[in-house]
Structure 1
Amino acid sequence: MELLEYQVKEWFREIGIPVLPSQKIEHPTDLKRLKINYPIVLKSQVYGGERANVGGVRFAETTIDAIAAAQSIFNLPILGELPEVLLAEVKYDAEQEFYLAVVLDTAVCRPILLGCTQADIDWESAGEKMQHVVVEQEFSPFYARRLALKMGLQGALMQSVSAVVEKMYQLFVEKDLDLVEINPLGVSSSDQVMALNGNVSVNERAIARHPDLAEMARKMVTRHSNIDFKPHLGNWDGVELHGKIGILGNGTGSVLATLDLVVNAGGKPGICLNLRHGFPTDTSPTTFCDRLDKALNILAGDKSIQVILINFLGSLPQVEEVVEVIANYVPHHKNDRKPQVLRSNNGSKSRRESHLPRLVVRLAGSEFDAARKYLATIKTSSDTSIVVIENLDEAVVEAVRLVKLTSHKKF
């Protein structure tokens, strides 16, 4: 999970990293009540990079200029995303600009401090210019000073940069981050330093340990009304495509293999979720059954999903309970069964629609023999169905066929 620049700078300010006076702008008229002095810079708050090159960063000398610039930026999509807020910040003239970062290196399983005396780095040749220090033991100011010295800094500037690196590492540990980056770190003529832009990447496995991060994650999911989990350091948990076949699996390999087969069979995958791990927004431990139940409701709530393809391979905890969750997904006793009301982990209720996506279930493994037989005997209403298939290729073909069948019925 990544944060927007204004959120990152709030963290920087709280921990003691120097940042410029700034103000969050939610509407152009907010600039009439600006509390910082002109001239200012207005920055689009989006997750896409290269905003400066497409007009997402503009300078303003007066309120009239600032309002006009803000109106333009609010209506400027960057990589398809419109900003919901802007950041107004005092203009800063830097004589030098540095690059600093603290990153988790999964190859050595240790944090690494990075520093370069150039902010605009050509990453293809970064190895020649970028200095690094591996934090091999418990962190101490020695590591920060060593990085500053390797960057060729001396005197007051070395002390200033070292102090910033120490605070970055403190933030890195306190918030369970994978990355803390300042790019650029501005340096004035008097060797004073200022974080002009920042970026952090939160370890998604750690979100549940931090109530403030869990709240941010919930707001992000609600705001974008999707499950946009991104691949990060190999912990692939899910992605939203925009097709009609939702995919659920119990491992990265099973999900990705299923996704590829659906595409090769002429189908279009939709939301794909790996249920081996908890959702980033879960604030308490969950069982596999909890995650399966929640995932089914997520997919059922997406009107574009017409078929849910479940591919569980190997072994599962609580097999009988997992089968019950799948069986209870559809109203298989139509005359005496009421629409089921479910409660999600955050306490909110959601009512299942009377028309649900069809289920294609592939269970591979000897322990699933009884489960397959049980699910195959379930009689469902005419609007829904559970198809149980042991062979994955056949399950994929059936899921694609059901989507086409549903599309034809609409016409």
Structure 2
Amino acid sequence: MDLLEYQAKELFREMGIPVLPSQRIDRPKDLKGLTIPYPVVLKSQVYIGGRGRVGGVRFVENTIDAVAAAQTIFNLPIMGEYPKVLLAEAKYNADREFYLAVVLNRSIRRPVLLGSQQGGIDVQAAMDQMQHVIVEREFSPYYARRLALKMGLQGDLMISVASILEKMYRLFVQKDLDLVEINPLGVSPSEAVMALDGKVTVNDDALARHPSLAALLETQDKASFEPLTELPVMMEADGQIGILCNGAGLTMATMDLICQAGGKPASFLNIGGETQWNSSPDGLRQRLERGLELMTQTRQVRVLLVNLVSSLIPCDEIAKVITAFLRHRIRELRGVSEIRPDTLITHTLRIPQMVVRLVGSECDRAKTQLANAQVTIVDTLDDAVAQTIVLAKSVARNS
């Protein structure tokens, strides 16, 4: 289960990872007793990324503005979730923003260090720049320095980033975590580093060994992590493109790229990332099936872009879900019981034309399955966006 940012930063502080002076805000009037000098940033404390894009992060210069901003943020739902707590934090002038993470890769059953010189809200759009180092044996500072070097860092900055990676890994091991993420790691003009945002995912099976973490989780509202019940978020009234992704950051990055390319999203749906406390292969399959059903019920969607990144299940398993859904959908429309894969001609049956981009293992098998189902599958997000725009324009001309 995920911790909120302010909880993750408490763990960072205990581990010696640099974080800014901050204060928890339970209600707007708490800001009248703020001990941090202005200017400060107010952050919505929700379990979903991309807060800054929708107004969940605001900079304020004085108490009056802070109280007004806090009232707005408390009443601002982000992907359907309202914050119960805000974090007030000192402002930091970052010259650059990096991405760092230590994650448990379930496929290879090893910890992996991740790092990129492009962090912040656009990190999902720059996955090709992400560097990784697999911790194959007992951890040593060598692994952290190796990742920092692969990121292209040198000198004192390389040493600083490697030091933070070591502390992140110690936290990862000591608390039996599934993920420790800093995004962004702010770098000042003098090359000082600061964890500006943090995410920690706890391994529920290890909670018995960590009563302090268990106490944090007992206060959380687990209703946010129930099986998918959300409806697609409607966008442009004259849009024709639907977007289905797993993870708020990936969803927003995909939507931004569609808009930048001149496309008009009709709706988008986030079926949930893989770092939730109850993530499982069966859960992902069920959420994907439900997401496809919801998106294909939206008549305005004529082209559907499916962009999924998964380490829970291989890509060929995702492809099976998509093709099985299409067969079931066509049986409903045609009223027949048996459909061969070579009869999945979706655009004549009022099912959206589909573009699929998958990241994970067994991609070649997935390509074969989806090709047999006459579904376009591409390797990169740029290609997926371009193909989606082409199909949308074709649909618009023929409508």
TM-score, structure 2 length as denominator?
Answer: 0.57
Shift of 1:236: 5.2
Shift of 1:78: 1.2
Look up the match of 1:204: 204
Structure 1 distance, partners of 2:21, 2:13, is 10
Once the two structures are superposed, residues 189-236 of structure 1 have per-residue CA deviations (whole angstroms, 9 ceiling, x without a partner) of 111100000111111211222112222232225x75997785425385
Look up the match of 1:39: 39
Kindly report structure 1 stretches of 4+ aligned residues shifted beyond 3 Å: 120-125, 223-231, 233-237
Counterpart contact for 1:99–1:184, Cα < 8 Å: yes
**Structure 2 counterpart of 1:90, which letter?**
A
Shift of 1:125: 5.1
Please give the secondary structure, in 2, of the residue aligned with 1:220: coil
1:3-402 mapped onto 2 (5 Å cutoff): 3-120=3-120, 121=122, 123=124, 126-127=127-128, 129-221=129-221, 224=223, 231-232=278-279, 234=281
Structure 2 distance, partners of 1:2, 1:185, is 19
Counterpart contact for 1:31–1:67, Cα < 8 Å: yes
Please give the secondary structure, in 1, of the residue aligned with 2:152: coil
Structure 2: gaps spanning 5 or more residues: 228-275, 291-324, 330-399
Are the structure 2 counterparts of residues 194 and 64 from structure 1 closer, same or farther at C-alpha, using a change threshold of 3 Å?
same
Aligned length: 246
Structure 1 distance, partners of 2:224, 2:188, is 43
Which of structures 1 and 2 has the larger relative contact order (alpha carbons within 8 angstroms, sep 6+)?
2
Shift of 1:123: 3.4
Structure 1: gaps spanning 5 or more residues: 242-259, 265-411
Are the structure 2 counterparts of residues 98 and 226 from structure 1 closer, same or farther at C-alpha, using a change threshold of 3 Å?
closer
| C-alpha RMSD of matched pairs (Å) | 3.0
**Percent identical residues:** 62
Once the two structures are superposed, residues 249-301 of structure 1 have per-residue CA deviations (whole angstroms, 9 ceiling, x without a partner) of xxxxxxxxxxx9xxx9xxxxxxxxxxxxxxxxxxxxxxxxxxxxxxxxxxxxx
Are the structure 2 counterparts of residues 123 and 80 from structure 1 closer, same or farther at C-alpha, using a change threshold of 3 Å?
closer
Look up the match of 2:310: none
Counterpart contact for 1:230–1:236, Cα < 8 Å: no
Shift of 1:92: 0.6
Counterpart contact for 1:38–1:90, Cα < 8 Å: yes
Shift of 1:186: 0.3
Counterpart contact for 2:45–2:85, Cα < 8 Å: yes
Larger radius of gyration: 1
Structure 1 distance, partners of 2:282, 2:17, is 30
Shift of 1:177: 0.9
Please give the secondary structure, in 2, of the residue aligned with 1:101: strand
